[in-house]
Chains A and B, each alone.
Chain A
Amino acid sequence: MAVTTMIGAKIHRREDPKLVTGHGSYVDDLRQVGMLYMSVVRSAQAHARIKSIDITEAGKAPGVVAIYTARDFKTVISGGLPVTESLIADKKYVPNQFPIAETEVVYFGEPVAVVLAVERYQAADAAEQVQVDYEPLPVVVDFEKAMQKGSEKAHSDGPDNIAWDVKFPGGDIEAAFKEADVVVKERILQQRVFPLSMEPRVVLANFVPFGNQLTLWTSTQVPHFVRIFLCFGLGIPESQIRVISPDVGGGFGSKLRPYPEEYLAAAASKLSGSPVKWVEGRTENLQATTHGRGHIFDIEVAAKRDGTLLGLKVTNLSDNGAYIGVFGALQSALAMLLAPGCYKWKAFDGRTVGILSNKMSTDPYRGAGRPEAAHLVERAVDLVAHELKMDPADVRRKNFPTEKEFPFTNPLGMVYDSGNYAKTLDKAMQIVGYKELRRRQAELRKQGRYLGIGLSTYVEICGVGPSAATDHVSGSISLVESSVVRVHPTGSVTVAVGTHSHGQGHDTTFSQIVADTLGVPYESVQINHGDTADTPFGYGTYGSRSLPVGGISIYKSCQKVVDKAKKIAAHMLEAAEADVVFDQGRFHVKGSPDRAKTMGEVAFRAHQTGLPDGMEEGLEAVTYFDPPNFTWPFGAHICVVEVDPDTGAVDIQKYIAVDDCGNVINPMIVDGQIHGGVAQGIGQALFEEVVYDSDTGQLRTGTLLDYSIPGIGEIPDLELDRTITPSPTNDLGVKGVGEAGTIAASAAVINAICDALSPLGIKHVDMPASPDRLWKMIQEARK
């Protein structure tokens, strides 16, 4: 690439001025004339037959315009919500989910009716007056029990509760275990957590009566994806649906699927002839927005006495909830593919079983399968180190592929594009002062104090996805990403993309790429995303894909623009195209840099008569980019904790993160992504857990009073550094960074706690490592 000025620079985000002054435009900030408010009546039971729904009293309540149940919706909605069934090679039972329950509710909070009213409070009042008569059915909460033969069933008409049962074999596992000097086994839990974006979901639907046209504003990560499924569900041509996802207050994976309420609001608008707005309250959000994680992992690790890792067996039980999340199986698949982590195993053997229960669906949450993988393999390595009385850093180093071994193929055939794992670990250890810390730890242990040092050396799979790799799991959907780059006659540039930014700062990052590649002023670049009316089809934002797939699409479109502009410039300069060079926005004949045409001048010329023969006017390009491989960011995190044995409280004294996401476009934004990701990982490690009542299936952590996300007092100062190992997969050498922090953090924290408590003989601690849990373990160990 040419010398650049923007790529790699800390540019302050162009998104921010409106957001810091209260002029953002989130869906609940929007109104339509004649708009009604929709309130959703939700099931108070986790599993029951609906005997009757009485709307008489509710219908008389002030302001109520209409009340609809499944019977009404069936006249305008066909089919069910999407499920990526084809992800599940050996799919067993995939229940169809209609957006609203008709005869049987299968989770607490499932929609059973909606109320439309003139005012917000009137809709909520009337919803409470809808009387639903339930006949309780057996409730399935414990998903491990639910997989057993003869278990009660989450759906009364299902054959059993098994959604899938798939194997992931990678090499001769028995041979690897035969070689072993030691075998360690552990059960590692991944509790359910709430993604909990600060903005809950909001939908505003405006169906034009008699027009068969729908505009839907919705707080989503995937506007185009939502549009496709509304087209299928509502029978409205895709071209007649406009989905707009304006400013969105965070997603973290919980807004990357079409949701029942999007169908219901759209259908209610059609049925009532009025625009309809639905605003999810937080209590509702915890019941009805997908949950993350929710797994049991049983692992067996084979190793030699010298710390050489041989074989890893992993059995994953996935708690799907009542319906398989749209990407529910993807999380388990990713957890399997990445479970070998950044180590050279001789063999791997995996099995994942998806299990239905009477709970909300689990679906991606920041990292989606990769935090689970990193957690289990990083625990596995520490368990081996503990067993062999080796330093966990030494076991890691011994088993890393060296820099020269890249591209490195893991036992499941995944090809890691580039890496230097020892380098990030060395850097993190140097920053934390590892040797000194170990000395200090030994001293403190003599004083009866419990200092722990936790390492997490992760690798992740980003940039979904190369169609060659995803074809067999995506149902032949090619997960490309798209861009249109248009240079206007006066030289400013509009870029339209299929991704969606909801906190990641794409407007800034993408503008940096465009400014450099086209050589135009940064300020002259406009990035459009989120409105299906003026953006090309794209799969949206998740899986740290927006830069390594979407960003590269933009780069390629810019290159195409430069190619055409070069032809026009040659024409203007009366030179052969081969003699024209493009340098920082200026075209000139080799050796004559003074006589140059700017991109703006060329753009103006591109809209005039007298272009070269056969050339169309205009200066724009389209790209649908299908990457040749995934990208593989990696890094080393070190967490230092002290555990108070009398209270079980964990004090995080230091947190070091050295990450490598390839080339960096905007270091400030990259650091911000790591900060936020680590905070969410710490949240899962120490505080967060969704709890359903084991008998009734009621949500016991139903408000923010009962569920704790980290506050400003609970996240320590995070010390960041990075190494840069460019990705060979794409033109910019970028890898993506949206999830790295979360993927690394929970293992770093838990490894630190286990290290702290190892003098007590404690080998493993599950999450959340709450004071209560730790105190009990410490008391037990001291007996």
Chain B
Amino acid sequence: MKHRVATTVNGRRHEHEVEPRLLLVHHLRDNLGLTGTHIGCDTSQCGACTILVDGMAVKSCTMFAVQAEGKSLTTIEGMAKDGELHPIQQAFWDEHGLQCGYCTPGFIMAASYLLSQNPNPTEDEIRKGLEGNLCRCTGYVNIIKAVQTAAKAMGGTQAKPTERAAVRRS
């Protein structure tokens, strides 16, 4: 039996009939064609599939598509606006914060949530804030630099911290 799920993704409204067991990440990739959200494990360790659900970082393999009913989602494709890279995307580019690029969308989305909660994180806070994401290429050195650079570039533009708890994990 299929269920109707209506979501707003990157500002655009979508309606689909989906199996209740369909993972949100497969819904995004296979039904909506948003393939920038990647899958790097099947046990919710790697964070490659991280997106924002109502502004909160979520591993989209830990949610069913039907649980996204009525929610507003942001994926990596929704970060650049008007032909301009988001400052976090720009910072990952500038600081060589990616190599193969597979984990990158997840890191950028997780960093986006981190900076929305803590616009000026210390190195330690960046390490804690991104511990749900794995990268095998960079040794993380330049990812940390990228987040620091992004924080500087975004100075003051981020929303104030909300009541929400830390990054959602499995």
B89 in contact (CB, < 8 A): yes
Task: Report the Cα distance A120→B19, complex, angstroms.
Answer: 12
Cross-interface CB contact of B137 among A250, A713, A718, cutoff 8 Å: A250
How many interface residues does chain B have, given as a range? 35 or more
Cross-interface CB contact of B133 among A120, A250, A712, cutoff 8 Å: A712
Residues of chain A within 8 A (CB-CB) of B104 are: 19-20
> B136, A505: Cβ atoms under 8 Å?
no
> B39, A28: Cβ atoms under 8 Å?
yes
B142 → A minimal CB distance (Å): 6
A-side interface residues, number (CB < 8 Å) = 55
Chain B residue nearest to A677 (CB atoms) is B139
Q: Can you list 6 pairs linking A and B with CB atoms under 8 Å apart? A: A19-B101, A20-B93, A22-B75, A24-B101, A705-B43, A715-B141
Interface 0/1 of B66-103, CB less than 8 Å to A:
00000000011101100001000100111010111111
Q: Known contacts A22-B75, A26-B102, A676-B139; is A198 also within 8 Å of B96 by CB?
A: no
Residues from 239 to 253 in A contacting B, C-beta threshold 8 Å = 247-250, 252
A717 in contact (CB, < 8 A): yes
Q: Known contacts A120-B30, A675-B142, A676-B99; is A21 also within 8 Å of B85 by CB?
A: yes
Task: Report the Cα distance A679→B140, complex, angstroms.
Answer: 8
Task: Report the Cα distance A26→B39, complex, angstroms.
Answer: 11
Additional A-B contact list (13), CB under 8 Å, known A504-B99, A678-B139: A16-B101, A19-B98, A20-B104, A21-B76, A29-B29, A121-B22, A197-B102, A200-B40, A672-B99, A679-B136, A703-B45, A705-B45, A711-B133
Task: Report the Cα distance A26→B128, complex, angstroms.
Answer: 29
Cross-interface CB contact of B92 among A20, A505, A672, A717, cutoff 8 Å: A20
A429 in contact (CB, < 8 A): no
Q: Known contacts A19-B104, A121-B21; is A198 also within 8 Å of B135 by CB?
A: yes
B55 in contact (CB, < 8 A): no
A283 in contact (CB, < 8 A): yes
Interface 0/1 of A110-147, CB less than 8 Å to B:
00000000001100000000000000000000000000
- Listed in ascending order, the chain A residues whose CB lies under 8 Å from chain B are 12-13, 15-17, 19-24, 26, 28-29, 120-121, 196-200, 247-250, 252, 281-283, 502-505, 668-669, 671-672, 675-680, 703-705, 709-713, 715, 717-718, 741
> A675, B139: Cβ atoms under 8 Å?
yes
B9 in contact (CB, < 8 A): no
Residues from 28 to 45 in B contacting A, C-beta threshold 8 Å = 29-30, 34-43, 45
> B96, A669: Cβ atoms under 8 Å?
yes
Q: Known contacts A250-B99, A711-B134; is A199 also within 8 Å of B108 by CB?
A: no
A557 → B minimal CB distance (Å): 26
A107 → B minimal CB distance (Å): 20
Residues of chain B within 8 A (CB-CB) of A19 are: 98, 101, 104
Chain B residue nearest to A717 (CB atoms) is B141
Chain B residue nearest to A199 (CB atoms) is B102
> A672, B142: Cβ atoms under 8 Å?
yes
Residues of chain A within 8 A (CB-CB) of B128 are: 713
B144 in contact (CB, < 8 A): yes
B28 → A minimal CB distance (Å): 10
Task: Report the Cα distance A252→B35, complex, angstroms.
Answer: 23
The 8 closest A-B pairs by CB, nearest first: A22-B36, A249-B102, A19-B101, A679-B139, A503-B100, A22-B76, A675-B139, A503-B99
Q: Known contacts A13-B96, A22-B77, A26-B38; is A715 also within 8 Å of B102 by CB?
A: no
Cross-interface CB contact of B130 among A198, A679, A712, cutoff 8 Å: A712
Task: Report the Cα distance A433→B101, complex, angstroms.
Answer: 36
Residues of chain A within 8 A (CB-CB) of B101 are: 15-16, 19-20, 24, 247, 249, 503
Chain A residue nearest to B45 (CB atoms) is A704
Task: Report the Cα distance A170→B29, complex, angstroms.
Answer: 57
Residues of chain B within 8 A (CB-CB) of A678 are: 139
Interface 0/1 of B126-170, CB less than 8 Å to A:
111011011111111111100000000000000000000000000
B59 in contact (CB, < 8 A): no
Task: Report the Cα distance A675→B137, complex, angstroms.
Answer: 8
> B39, A675: Cβ atoms under 8 Å?
no
Cross-interface CB contact of A12 among B21, B37, B94, B134, cutoff 8 Å: B94
A720 → B minimal CB distance (Å): 9
Cross-interface CB contact of A680 among B75, B136, B144, cutoff 8 Å: B136
Residues of chain A within 8 A (CB-CB) of B75 are: 22
Chain A residue nearest to B135 (CB atoms) is A198
Task: Report the Cα distance A16→B138, complex, angstroms.
Answer: 14
B111 → A minimal CB distance (Å): 11
Cross-interface CB contact of A283 among B42, B93, B140, cutoff 8 Å: B42
Residues of chain B within 8 A (CB-CB) of A250 are: 99-100, 102, 136-137
Residues of chain A within 8 A (CB-CB) of B29 are: 28-29
Task: Report the Cα distance A507→B123, complex, angstroms.
Answer: 31
Residues of chain A within 8 A (CB-CB) of B42 are: 281-283, 703
Task: Report the Cα distance A505→B93, complex, angstroms.
Answer: 12
B57 in contact (CB, < 8 A): no
Residues of chain B within 8 A (CB-CB) of A282 are: 40-43, 46
Chain A residue nearest to B94 (CB atoms) is A12
> A21, B143: Cβ atoms under 8 Å?
no
Task: Report the Cα distance A668→B102, complex, angstroms.
Answer: 19
Task: Report the Cα distance A29→B35, complex, angstroms.
Answer: 6
Chain B residue nearest to A720 (CB atoms) is B141
Task: Report the Cα distance A710→B135, complex, angstroms.
Answer: 8
Residues of chain A within 8 A (CB-CB) of B134 are: 198, 704, 709, 711
Task: Report the Cα distance A713→B26, complex, angstroms.
Answer: 29
Residues of chain B within 8 A (CB-CB) of A21 are: 36, 76-77, 79-80, 85, 89
Chain A residue nearest to B40 (CB atoms) is A198
A26 → B minimal CB distance (Å): 7
